[in-house]
Amino acid sequence: MSDTTVEAAKRAAAQQAVKDHFDPNATNVGIGSGTTIVYVVEAIKQASTNPAIRFVPTGYQSRQVIVKAGLTPIAFDSLAEDTLLDVAFDGADEVDIDLNCIKGGGACLFQEKLVAQRARKFVCVADYRKKQDRLLTNWPTIPIEVAPISVPVVLRALKTLGSTEPKLRNTLLEKSGPLKTDQDFFIIDAPFKTLLVKEDVESGKGKGDGSDGTWEVTQLSDAIKSLTGVLEVGIFSGLNGPDAEALRATDSRKTVTSGQKPIAVYFGMADGSVELRTAQ
Ligand SMILES: O=C[C@H](O)[C@H](O)[C@H](O)COP(=O)(O)O
């Protein structure tokens, strides 16, 4: 498929997502990172009627997109403690049938997670290449943000978890060395076998805890997150937003933890249509 097909798919998905989930009177909106989010900002600019609206970026690139569109950015840490974002939009590198996502292809996963969890609803927008049944089908690796000093120990630990060749991500100019995130941390890209969803574990396709070489999405995310030196993992899984709040309220055993899954993902398809996946 040509570049223009991919870009048209991103724009179509962005327009539909904004039409369905952006309230023109919204006051605080989260804006993710990457190439697809540019089309979301374009569509929001056309739709917004509230001159006081503020946009919370997820990093340097995201902030530049907001500023270039003539919109007003506000830092995540200047939001009042109890203020929620009306909605947050973001791209994704791959999405599975349960709406679990891989993110961090552009190294912005940490702030993206903060913003996704702060939103009443988190919506993803992507092109058809990202729509898969399982994570690590087409996208090859899990991006992981780590403290620079911890790189050797995290690489070793990832191999123990079953990642064959985890690598420190370099800048595009190899001579300049490792790529630095907005937090001045590094990114490790870790390949694993295609991940299982919860239903796969229930139907016996694998244990999903790494013991038989298979990993279920959230179990792998938790295992990586527990490694010393890891700031954040580019797996967005687990209930998020009002669904999670409602479940937590009735969850006496406190087993429902806070996740980052989107409530909806809009995929721009190669034929110009837009496909929607929503939380079941
Ligand atoms: O770190 C980057 C982000 O997670 C992006 O949202 C993700 O990589 C998708 O980017 P794009 O819209 O350029 O495919």
In this predicted structure, what is the pLDDT of residue 121? 92
Using the predicted structure, report yes or no on whether residue 280 has a pLDDT greater than 80: no
Give the separation between CA 205 and CA 256, rounded to whole angstroms: 24
32 Cβ below 6 A of ligand 1: yes
Contact indicator for 56, 115 with CB cutoff of 8 Å: yes
**In angstroms, what is the span from residue 100 Cα to ligand 1's centroid?**
14
195 Cβ below 6 A of ligand 1: no
Contact indicator for 92, 113 with CB cutoff of 8 Å: no
Using the predicted structure, report yes or no on whether residue 79 has a pLDDT greater than 70: yes
Using the predicted structure, report yes or no on whether residue 256 has a pLDDT greater than 70: no
User: Is residue 112 annotated as a catalytic residue, yes or no?
Assistant: yes
pLDDT tens sequence across 212-235: 999 999 999 999 999 999 999 999
Q: Residue 24: left if φ>0, alpha if ψ -120 to 50, beta else—which one?
A: alpha
Write out the E strands in 108-259: 122-127, 142-146, 167-168, 186-190, 230-233, 235-236
In this predicted structure, what is the pLDDT of residue 9? 98
Give the separation between CA 204 and CA 220, rounded to whole angstroms: 17
Using the predicted structure, report yes or no on whether residue 253 has a pLDDT greater than 80: no
pLDDT-based confidence at residue 241 (cuts at 50, 70, 90): low
86 Cβ below 6 A of ligand 1: no
In this predicted structure, what is the pLDDT of residue 176? 84
Q: Catalytic: which of 94, 112, 145, 216? A: 112
In this predicted structure, what is the pLDDT of residue 242? 63
pLDDT tens sequence across 113-146: 999 999 999 999 999 999 999 999 999 999 999 9
The count of residues in the chain is: 280
**In angstroms, what is the span from residue 37 Cα to ligand 1's centroid?**
8
Using the predicted structure, report yes or no on whether residue 258 has a pLDDT greater than 70: no
Residues whose CB falls within 8 Å of the CB of residue 31, separated by 6 or more in sequence, listed in order: 37, 40, 41, 55, 56, 57, 58, 62, 65, 66, 88, 89, 90, 115
Closest protein CA for atom 2 of ligand 1: 106
**3-state SS assignment for residue 48:** coil
Residues of the chain with CATH 3.30.70.260: 142-235
CA angle 204/206/212 to nearest 5° reads 140
Give the separation between CA 54 and CA 9, rounded to whole angstroms: 27
Q: Mean pLDDT over all residues of the chain?
A: 94
pLDDT tens sequence across 150-180: 999 999 999 999 999 999 999 988 778 999 9
Give the separation between CA 132 and CA 70, rounded to whole angstroms: 35
Contact indicator for 107, 60 with CB cutoff of 8 Å: no
Q: Among 35, 93, 102, 267, which residue has the most ligand 1 atoms within 8 Å of its CB, making it the best to mutate?
A: 93
In this predicted structure, what is the pLDDT of residue 117? 92
In this predicted structure, what is the pLDDT of residue 179? 96
Residues of the chain with CATH 3.40.50.1360: 3-132+239-278
In this predicted structure, what is the pLDDT of residue 16? 98
33 Cβ below 6 A of ligand 1: yes
ipTM field? 0.99
Using the predicted structure, report yes or no on whether residue 81 has a pLDDT greater than 90: no
Closest protein CA for atom 3 of ligand 1: 104
Fold held by 142-235: Alpha-Beta Plaits (3.30.70)
90 Cβ below 6 A of ligand 1: yes
Domain 3-132+239-278 carries which CATH code? Answer: 3.40.50.1360
105 Cβ below 6 A of ligand 1: yes
